[in-house]
């Protein structure tokens, strides 16, 4: 078969990439070795606000928001001595009904209530997310889904890629495509054939993880059941995640890197985390042993072949941002690839993908690892005193001292404004910079800015709609009262076939200090100014990567 882009892997990254390309008029074939209805991994349980903004554009956000936990189930995070034990501290976060109880917008009073976004974070397991994305992918014209098909190898040439696959029935399948994108996970066959190495921290910690079915777990909590519970006691550290808020629970038991997996008894360690005796029973739905790493691919491209998601970077699962970073990779690559395939830009435009995404992956992964190591030094690398579990005065005092420390360390990973909105592209070949440095950010905080390369700060229009709902598939000029004719700029974009919109905003929102801001389709600022560019052909040519390397655009 022939297509424009072949994607290996139908996880959230691969399916989002397929839908985004299809929305831009590109034909896509998605190869996946597993059956379409085979349950997904339950490890990922957070869809970040930035990802929800992408899902909003793809028409997926509403169903994602309504799935997973029940409407009234709290998304609180607690730290405790066991699920049935003593609570040490609680990070208060809203249920779905609490979140959207006021005009459908984020309710006040929570640590992430003031985020500038139309789409707050959603706590939903990949177990439910993947089927939603599959269903929506079927509705996109131009997407061909090929489940139960295994990628074998590829042959790359100047004109495109030949992808060799095999169906689960043993039949060979050959796909001819212009580009190939490996979204095939941490053990990516595509990356290995590219000869790309993973660099970084190979072992940070280990976990034994079990997905169990047990309605009785909900009754173990002494206080209100939490979405995520971090367990600290002298016997076993771990984490318990509510998958459906009723009977499905994901139970992680943490090991140090020095220990062998089999040194931790699967059932006994589960009892130590839950705080139950031998009479307590459950049904194991699935089990997985895994190692937390921070590894980044040395490069994301080789000729016509790219990698995204876990194929390109493996993160320690702090702040729940691994999958979300992969989706950010995919949508960054998608609009550039579509522009090239639709003859709207020079192929050099694709060089901007790695120039933009590789440094961000490095920065943000280090933020996540730093927080993880800080937490482990407090809870796992020291001997946990038995008094922490006591209901005595000394036990209460120990918990009252530890609680604020755990809260201070961990609230940023559950309200990670910086990871969502703080990152910026400061060395891109297709952005018009103006000399102002972007504001710094950390995991939990960000300063919204219109500095080129930053995310366009969100605001609600006077009609109650989101700014992001109005951004076009190419570039959108936000006009805050300028009196200049943009006919020549429109002509320059039109000459290259690049979609261009102009939005006149009658008021200048806070954070916007320039008359004009040019937004890319991925919500990043491409340019800003108080006067429209003079040489519009050179200006637009820079955005389309028409300038040769080293040539002044």
Q: pLDDT digits over 379-409, tens only?
A: 654 678 899 999 999 999 999 999 999 999 9
Q: Which class does domain 5-69+119-199+294-367 fall in?
A: alpha beta
How far, in Å, are 170, 259, 314, 364, 453 from residue 295 at the CA level? 34, 21, 5, 12, 25
How far, in Å, are 227, 252, 401, 512 from residue 89 at the CA level? 14, 19, 10, 39
Per-residue pLDDT, 552:
42
| pLDDT exceeds cutoff 70 at 106 | no
Give the separation between CA 231 and CA 201, rounded to whole angstroms.
25
Q: How confident is the model at residue 40 (pLDDT cuts 50, 70, 90)?
A: confident
Give the separation between CA 11 and CA 89, rounded to whole angstroms.
34
Per-residue pLDDT, 516:
96
413 or 453: whose pLDDT is higher?
A: 453
Give the separation between CA 229 and CA 225, rounded to whole angstroms.
9
Q: How confident is the model at residue 488 (pLDDT cuts 50, 70, 90)?
A: very high
318 or 147: whose pLDDT is higher?
A: 147
**5-69+119-199+294-367 and 424-543 share one fold:** no
Q: How confident is the model at residue 547 (pLDDT cuts 50, 70, 90)?
A: low
The average confidence (pLDDT) of the chain is 92
Please tell me whether residue 525 adopts helix, strand or coil conformation: strand
Per-residue pLDDT, 104:
56
Per-residue pLDDT, 108:
73
Q: Where are the domains of the chain?
A: 5-69+119-199+294-367, 424-543
Tell the burial category of 528 from Cβ atoms under 10 Å away from its Cβ (0-12, 13-18, 19+).
buried
Whether 46 and 77 have beta carbons less than 8 Å apart is answered as no
Q: How confident is the model at residue 42 (pLDDT cuts 50, 70, 90)?
A: confident
Q: pLDDT digits over 415-428, tens only?
A: 999 989 999 999 99
198 or 367: whose pLDDT is higher?
A: 198
The mean pLDDT value for 140-150 works out to: 97
Per-residue pLDDT, 553:
38
pTM beyond 0.85, yes or no = yes
Give the separation between CA 162 and CA 340, rounded to whole angstroms.
19
Per-residue pLDDT, 551:
46
Q: Which two tokens stand for residue 62?
A: 């509403």
Q: How confident is the model at residue 105 (pLDDT cuts 50, 70, 90)?
A: low
Range of lowest pLDDT (50-64, 304-318, 363-377, 378-392): 363-377
The mean pLDDT value for 316-343 works out to: 89
The mean pLDDT value for 61-71 works out to: 94
Q: Quick one: CATH architecture of 424-543?
A: 3-Layer(aba) Sandwich (3.40)
Q: Which of 337, 499, 444 is nearest to 115 (CA)?
A: 444
The mean pLDDT value for 137-166 works out to: 97
The mean pLDDT value for 526-537 works out to: 96
């Amino acid at each position: 078969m022939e297509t424009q882009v072949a994607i290996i892997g139908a996880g959230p990254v691969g399916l989002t990439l397929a839908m985004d390309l299809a929305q831009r008029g590109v034909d896509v074939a998605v190869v996946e070795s597993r059956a379409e209805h085979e349950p997904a991994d339950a490890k990922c349980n957070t869809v970040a606000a930035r990802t929800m903004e992408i899902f909003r554009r793809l028409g997926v956000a509403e169903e994602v928001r309504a799935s997973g936990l029940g409407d009234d189930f709290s998304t609180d995070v607690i730290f405790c001595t066991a699920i049935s034990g003593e609570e040490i501290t609680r990070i208060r976060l809203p249920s779905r009904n609490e979140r959207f109880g006021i005009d459908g917008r984020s309710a006040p009073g929570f640590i992430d209530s003031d985020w500038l976004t139309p789409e707050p974070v959603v706590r939903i397991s990949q177990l439910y997310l993947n089927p939603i994305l599959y269903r929506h992918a079927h509705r996109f014209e131009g997407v061909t889904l090929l489940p139960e098909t295994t990628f074998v190898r590829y042959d790359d040439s100047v004109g495109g890629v030949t992808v060799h696959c095999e169906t689960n029935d043993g039949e060979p399948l050959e796909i001819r495509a212009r580009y190939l994108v490996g979204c095939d996970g941490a053990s990516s066959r595509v990356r290995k054939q590219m000869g790309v190495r993973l660099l970084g921290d190979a072992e940070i910690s280990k976990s034994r993880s079990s997905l169990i079915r047990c309605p009785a777990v909900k009754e173990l909590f002494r206080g209100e059941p939490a979405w995520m519970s971090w367990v600290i006691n002298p016997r076993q550290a771990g984490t318990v995640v509510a998958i459906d808020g009723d009977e499905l629970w994901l139970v992680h038991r943490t090991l140090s890197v020095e220990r062998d997996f089999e040194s931790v008894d699967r059932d006994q360690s589960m009892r130590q985390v839950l705080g139950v005796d031998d009479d307590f029973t459950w049904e194991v739905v699935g089990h997985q042993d895994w190692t937390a790493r921070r590894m980044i691919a040395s490069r994301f491209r080789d000729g016509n072949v790219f990698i995204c998601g876990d194929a390109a970077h493996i993160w320690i699962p702090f702040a729940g941002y691994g999958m979300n970073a992969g989706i950010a990779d995919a949508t960054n690559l998608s609009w550039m690839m579509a522009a090239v395939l639709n003859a709207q830009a020079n192929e050099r435009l694709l060089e901007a993908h790695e120039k933009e995404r590789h440094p961000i992956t490095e920065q943000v992964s280090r933020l996540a690892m730093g927080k993880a190591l800080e937490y482990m030094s407090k809870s796992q690398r020291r001997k946990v005193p038995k008094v922490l579990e006591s209901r005595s005065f000394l036990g209460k005092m120990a918990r009252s001292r530890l609680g604020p420390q755990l809260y201070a360390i961990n609230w940023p990973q559950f309200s990670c404004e910086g990871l969502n909105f703080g990152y910026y592209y400061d060395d891109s070949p297709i952005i018009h910079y103006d000399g102002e440095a972007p504001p710094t950010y950390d995991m939990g905080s960000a300063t919204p800015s219109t500095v080129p390369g930053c995310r366009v700060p969100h605001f609600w229009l006077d009609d109650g709609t989101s700014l992001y709902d109005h951004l076009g598939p190419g570039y959108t000029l936000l006009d805050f009262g300028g009196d200049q004719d943009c006919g020549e700029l429109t002509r320059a974009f039109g000459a290259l076939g690049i979609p261009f919109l102009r939005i006149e905003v009658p008021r200048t929102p806070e954070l916007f200090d320039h008359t004009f801001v040019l937004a890319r389709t991925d919500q990043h600022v491409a340019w800003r100014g108080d006067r429209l560019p003079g040489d519009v052909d050179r200006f637009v040519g820079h955005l389309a990567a028409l300038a040769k390397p080293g040539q002044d655009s």
